[in-house]
Structure 1
Amino acid sequence: MGFYCQRHSYETELTTKVVSCTQAQVKLEVNGRKQNVKGFELILEDTVLFPEGGGQPDDRGTINNVEVLRITRKGADAIHFVTSSLEPGSEVTQKVDWKRRFDHMQQHSGQHLVTAIADDKYGWKTTSWDLGREKSFIELDTPKISQEQLEELEKDTNDAIRKCIPMTPRLVELGSKELQEVRTRGLPDDHVGLVRIVEIEGIEANLCCGTHVSNLSHLQAIKLLGAEKGKKGKTNLYFLAGNRVLSYLGKCYNNEKALNLSLKCGPDEHVQQVDKIQKSLKTANKTSLTVLRELAVLEARHYKLNPNRDPLLSIHRKEGDSEYMIIVANEVGPENALMLLSTGEENGAGLFLVAGPTDIVEEAGPRVASLLEGKGACKNGRYQGKATKLSKRSEAEKLLRDFTHKLNLNS
């Protein structure tokens, strides 16, 4: 007979009885991390909550106001994972998260429609699909899809939606001749009982266990976002159906309004204005780099011209880069100073360079890296690397100052 959720996909509540309740531990995503959660697995006489299958994620909802964290299928049973036990034989009320359910119905039914038309019109077989949280994709057995084909496929799917074609599930016996005429990728190994077919009248019939809309008009619209190269000569076709189209349009419109304010122009001029800004930024960056290089030369020369210069040259420049440090080191020369140069956030991460006599650099460089909680390497008489804590720069200066007595510098 199938589950209640499969027979009545639009129903959101069901009162039924507990068949069994057993202790279990399931790995779930909690706050973005996989964790082992202890709880109970419930089998009920029937369920309004869909267990994952056919590429469709499981429902969310409650049983007696207790949150259901996961629903899977094992043979003919739906397994509901909860954190509170319930007495076998007791009557319970299930409620489904309708927003999630209807979203899954729209995306899954939309996938059936796109799959059918893509196959019938272009001969592109669907080899897999994924119902993502924000957008879904269908893996099609074709190496590429042209823009013209994409537009034509989108037009055909939305034409079918406007015709308000019924979409109907039915059950047939395993081994029925009818199964030879439907679209299928096979049954699960643990399948038992009757086989469920979902038919879009006059378009296709497909083996499927998922929840679906009763009429294509309930899809509202389908938007094909684009196609990308997939694996092994296949193409991933990304799409939105129903409420996701409206949500996506709302986000795009809000982004457009924000860009209007930032760019001080209308949407028709966005690309031109961004191109203009990018060119200006490129020129400004080039000028900034030139100034930075000239500053490095001037700072090095200023140091060398000072008759009372400190044997330890320590410079930190937040907006600098590795080339800036190298220019300073080259201009000063290892025979004239022991140097600690750094760039980046003063209390955060950045780059550093230790330069000077080779024997001192080879000994002191790794110790400086350790103090700054970074990593680096010694090459050509310099130790250069990345630091995570430039806030400890004063400690690195103190360490290097202890080496200055070994210096035999030019005056």
Structure 2
Amino acid sequence: MAFQCQRDCYMQEFDTCVVSCVPGESTLENNGKKDKLKGFNLKLKDTILFPEGGGQPDDHGTVGGVPVLRVLRQGPEAVHFISSALEEGQEVHIKLDWERRFDHMQQHSGQHLITALADAMFGYKTTSWDLGRQRSSIELDTAAVKPGEMEALEAAVNEKIRAHIPVTVNLLSIDDPAVEKVRSRGLPDDHAGPIRIIDIEGVDANMCCGTHVSNLSHLQVIKILGTEKGKKNKTNLIFIAGSRVLKYAEKSYGIEKSLTGLLKTGADEHVDAVDKLQKTIKRLQKSNLIILREMAVLIALNFKNKADRGNFFSLHNKDGDNEFMNIIANEIGFQDTVIFLTVGEEKGAGLFLLAGPENIVTEVGPFLATNTQDGFGAHRDKKYPMSTMKYTAVFLMLWAYISAGGPGHLV
């Protein structure tokens, strides 16, 4: 069966009736996480909401004012997942999220066009494709593309768009000899009804269930962003079509404008300016590390040279690291001295090091780890992730412990 969304891809509102509505559940993606929700599986007499399939995501919209969260195909039927029930036999009005649909139409028809010309021009077959949220990709059956090929492909694709070539939908019976002449990656196991052929006049005829533009001019423009290495000696071609190109240009200009303000250079000089900054940062970081190491040695020597130094040393340095703490501990020596060091910013996670006589570290270490780890896990080589906001409290705890006489006096 062909749904109304497949018979007229441009229809944005439609009246139909409820065939059934039963409790069900569906897995929905939310901010990169998949949540399983309970709701209702709704079947309609017909629908303008496209069910996920053929590499194309499902449509969004409302049925009888109720938001449709997902649409899946089950054989010849479309199942709409909704949050609240509708009555069987009820007349309902469907409203389509047109912006989402038209975006999908542009990307899908764009994929057909790119696929056809990549094959015709270079013999690169398409093995799969993905309609992403921001950009789409086509997997080409080639380990690599030659220099200049993607530029030539992009030029040819946009030439076809400017030629206003019509795109038509033909329905063929499964035993029609014409089916054998069209491009296809095969039918799904639960396919039912006629075969749907998307025909780009003089360019391509492809078996497809998705929604498409009626003329290549509706694609506006296609931009091939580049290629990247795919799986199993394949190449992924990355592209955007139609409105996505306009959004990409707007976003790119915004970034360019911001960089111009930050770098105080023209757009053509951004790369050189950032390269110089990165080299300067590396030099400064290297100098900073040298200074920190020298500072660690001086801090340790200063403590060792104090006549009244005692047997406890504590220090916090927000710019330090593991090596900074290790140098201090090793220079002071922890056979007779308890050393408590912390590094990191005053907010957020940091590290602390506890070193000293084995009996003290053995008793105090696990206690401190339990009270300061902030969910970072068990202690490791006596270095414990911690929030440095707790530094003062931990320092006082240790000071009280040492003052009380060591093992056996921890409260």
| TM norm. shorter chain > 0.5 | yes
- Whichever residue aligns with residue 261 of structure 1, its letter is G
Q: Could you report, residue by residue, the CA deviation over 1:347-401 in whole angstroms, capped at 9, with x for unpaired residues? A: 43112211223443344333332222153333xxxx234x133333344335544
- Whichever residue aligns with residue 52 of structure 1, its letter is E
Q: 1: CA distance between counterparts of 2:63 and 2:102?
A: 19
Q: Could you report, residue by residue, the CA deviation over 1:68-123 in whole angstroms, capped at 9, with x for unpaired residues? A: 11111111111111122222222111110000000000000000011111112212
- Whichever residue aligns with residue 259 of structure 1, its letter is L
Q: 1: CA distance between counterparts of 2:74 and 2:216?
A: 31
User: 1:376 is paired with a residue of what secondary structure?
Assistant: coil
Query: Aligned residue for 2:131?
Result: 131
Q: Could you report, residue by residue, the CA deviation over 1:189-247 in whole angstroms, capped at 9, with x for unpaired residues? A: 11111110001111110000000000111111111111111111111111000000010
Q: 2: CA distance between counterparts of 1:87 and 1:219?
A: 40
Q: 2: CA distance between counterparts of 1:247 and 1:236?
A: 22
Note if 1:391 corresponds to 2:389.
yes
Aligned residues: 402
Note if 1:286 corresponds to 2:286.
yes
For the Cα contact (< 8 Å) 2:143–2:235, is it kept in 1?
yes
Structure 1: which 4+ aligned runs deviate by more than 6 Å?
Answer: none
Query: Aligned residue for 1:82?
Result: 82
Structure 1 stretch 265-274 or stretch 278-287: which is displaced more?
A: 278-287
Structure 1 stretch 81-90 or stretch 264-273: which is displaced more?
A: 81-90
For the Cα contact (< 8 Å) 2:50–2:59, is it kept in 1?
yes
Structure 1 stretch 207-216 or stretch 142-151: which is displaced more?
A: 142-151
**Gap runs ≥5 in structure 1:** none
Structure 1 stretch 43-52 or stretch 289-298: which is displaced more?
A: 289-298
Structure 1 stretch 302-311 or stretch 209-218: which is displaced more?
A: 302-311
Query: TM-score, normalised to structure 1's length?
Result: 0.93
For the Cα contact (< 8 Å) 2:124–2:140, is it kept in 1?
yes
Query: What does 1:233-272 correspond to in 2, within 5 Å?
Result: 233-272=233-272
Q: 2: CA distance between counterparts of 1:310 and 1:217?
A: 83
Note if 1:364 corresponds to 2:364.
yes
Cα shift at 1:34: 2.8
Kindly, what percent of the aligned residue pairs are identical?
52
Query: TM-score, normalised to structure 2's length?
Result: 0.93
Cα shift at 1:272: 1.5
Q: Could you report, residue by residue, the CA deviation over 1:14-36 in whole angstroms, capped at 9, with x for unpaired residues? A: 11122222222222234654333
Structure 1 stretch 278-287 or stretch 167-176: which is displaced more?
A: 278-287
For the Cα contact (< 8 Å) 2:174–2:194, is it kept in 1?
yes
Q: 1: CA distance between counterparts of 2:267 and 2:30?
A: 40
User: 1:99 is paired with a residue of what secondary structure?
Assistant: helix
For the Cα contact (< 8 Å) 1:222–1:241, is it kept in 2?
yes
- Whichever residue aligns with residue 29 of structure 2, its letter is E
Q: Could you report, residue by residue, the CA deviation over 1:26-76 in whole angstroms, capped at 9, with x for unpaired residues? A: 222346543332222221111111111100000001112211111111111
Note if 1:195 corresponds to 2:195.
yes
User: 2:380 is paired with a residue of what secondary structure?
Assistant: strand
Distance 1:200 1:24, change over 3 A: same
User: 1:388 is paired with a residue of what secondary structure?
Assistant: strand
Query: What does 1:179-190 correspond to in 2, within 5 Å?
Result: 179-190=179-190
- Whichever residue aligns with residue 196 of structure 2, its letter is R
Cα shift at 1:406: 5.5
Q: 1: CA distance between counterparts of 2:23 and 2:329?
A: 67
Query: Aligned residue for 1:112?
Result: 112
Q: 1: CA distance between counterparts of 2:31 and 2:272?
A: 41
- Whichever residue aligns with residue 387 of structure 2, its letter is K
**Gap runs ≥5 in structure 2:** none
For the Cα contact (< 8 Å) 2:352–2:386, is it kept in 1?
no
For the Cα contact (< 8 Å) 2:3–2:46, is it kept in 1?
yes
User: 1:69 is paired with a residue of what secondary structure?
Assistant: strand
For the Cα contact (< 8 Å) 1:144–1:229, is it kept in 2?
yes
Query: Aligned residue for 2:380?
Result: 377
